[in-house]
């Protein structure tokens, strides 16, 4: 949801900070003790089809290992459906799925690339909408929907099925509901059908949205918008007790806490990135100890505008071609000027270098 920036930053400060930003250590935040470094966007997607609305929300990245420059981005227009974009930002396909909020994807060998979106068409009955992505045509094929909790659907993240007792053709899916409930489910994909089994229910005190699974360290992270980041055991056998591991403190994180993403880093390390929507920045933490690494923001890069009020994010290491040689970071942009909202693309190497993460 849009942050109330007016309560945090004078308009003049915000406009002045973003104008002409192209990199380096320039700061744009009222959190004076922990200013973000500025990194320029390298690309952007075409705007979503819904104009004059808070519509673009969440991206997911599929990396084409055989041809990294041909990788794809799946992203939501939460008023209309799912877009698939190329790295040049061009629309490759669209599927009308109605009110879909967040999205994630996972490769499943013979079952292909499975995309799952949180479906909120019925505000009293959350669903997970499941699709298969064709990497050659960039088209999405609907496989069906499964019930995902008796409340409005909001967030979604995926992990391997083994964390819910499943096999190779199974997915662990976390349905994050607007009322604070998180339902962990086992989805089994067979051809054009999806079978669901419930594993367990988790909860946080107030409204959550973003979530991400750290499969290497066995943790699930949930963003409680006004409070901070929660950590739970990823495996369904690990109990239901969680703990806050990073709080909204108006220094590292400014409410709302929105998108969460994890990326592999140098030396076998992993990093958790959180959208600090309240001041249009991104906080970076080392895993598994949640050591704070710093903050960055996305400033103007040539004709590409700065990023503000970000909802969903996605990040992946590895080559994505010449523009993104060591990884790709994608962020929803809540204010795309006179155009409808879209998604900005940033070289992960540029972030890594600016923050001195190596």
In angstroms, the CA 259 to CA 262 distance is 11
Q: Is 85 helix (H, G, I), strand (E, B) or coil?
A: strand
Q: Which pLDDT tens digit goes with each residue over 54-63?
A: 999 999 999 9
In this predicted structure, the answer to whether residue 225 has a pLDDT above a threshold of 50 is yes
What are the distances in angstroms from CA 307 to CA 122, 219, 303, 314, 331? 31, 29, 13, 14, 8
The domain locations on the chain are 5-355
User: Whole-model pTM?
Assistant: 0.90
* Superfamily of the domain at 5-355: TolB, C-terminal domain (2.120.10.30)
The chain-wide mean pLDDT, for the chain, equals: 91
What pLDDT, on the 0 to 100 scale, is given for residue 167?
85
Q: Which pLDDT tens digit goes with each residue over 141-156?
A: 999 999 999 999 999 9
Q: Where are the alpha helices (DSSP H) in the chain?
A: 11-18, 348-355
In this predicted structure, the answer to whether residue 34 has a pLDDT above a threshold of 60 is yes
Nearest Cα to 189, choosing from 235, 236, 156, 142?
Answer: 142
In angstroms, the CA 351 to CA 40 distance is 9
In angstroms, the CA 352 to CA 116 distance is 29
Nearest Cα to 315, choosing from 222, 212, 227, 239?
Answer: 212
253: Cα within 13 Å, side-chain hemisphere: 26
């Amino acid at each position: 949801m849009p942050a109330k920036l007016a309560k945090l930053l004078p308009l003049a400060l915000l406009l002045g900070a973003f104008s002409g930003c192209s990199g380096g250590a320039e700061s744009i935040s009222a959190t004076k003790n922990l200013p973000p470094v500025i990194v320029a966007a390298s690309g952007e997607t075409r705007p979503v089809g819904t104009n004059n609305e808070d519509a673009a929300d969440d991206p997911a990245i599929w990396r084409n290992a055989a041809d990294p420059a041909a990788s794809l981005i799946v992203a939501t227009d939460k008023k209309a459906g799912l877009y698939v974009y190329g790295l040049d930002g061009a629309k490759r396909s669209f599927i009308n799925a109605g009110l879909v909020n967040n999205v994630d994807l996972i490769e499943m060998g013979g079952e292909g690339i499975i995309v799952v979106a949180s479906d909120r068409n019925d505000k009293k009955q959350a669903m997970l909408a499941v699709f298969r992505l064709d990497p050659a045509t960039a088209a999405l094929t609907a496989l069906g929907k499964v019930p995902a909790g008796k409340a409005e659907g909001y967030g979604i993240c995926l992990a391997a099925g083994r964390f819910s007792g499943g096999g190779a053709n199974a997915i662990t899916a976390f349905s994050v509901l607007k009322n604070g409930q998180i339902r962990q489910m086992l989805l089994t994909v067979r051809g054009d059908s999806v079978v669901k089994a419930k594993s367990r229910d988790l909860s946080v005190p107030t409204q959550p949205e973003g979530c991400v699974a750290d499969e290497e360290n066995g943790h699930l992270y949930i963003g409680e918008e006004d409070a901070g980041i929660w950590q739970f055991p990823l495996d369904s056998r690990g109990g239901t007790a969680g703990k806050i591991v990073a709080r909204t403190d108006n220094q590292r994180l400014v409410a709302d806490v929105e998108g969460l993403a994890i990326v592999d880093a140098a030396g076998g390390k992993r990093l958790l990135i959180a959208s600090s929507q309240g001041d249009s920045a991104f906080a970076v933490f080392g895993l598994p100890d949640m050591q704070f690494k710093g903050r960055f923001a996305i400033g103007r890069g040539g004709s590409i505008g700065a990023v503000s009020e970000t909802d969903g994010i996605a990040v992946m290491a590895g080559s994505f071609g010449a523009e993104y040689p060591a990884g790709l970071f994608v962020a929803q942009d809540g204010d795309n000027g006179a155009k409808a909202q879209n998604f900005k693309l940033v070289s992960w190497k540029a972030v890594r270098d600016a923050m001195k993460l190596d």
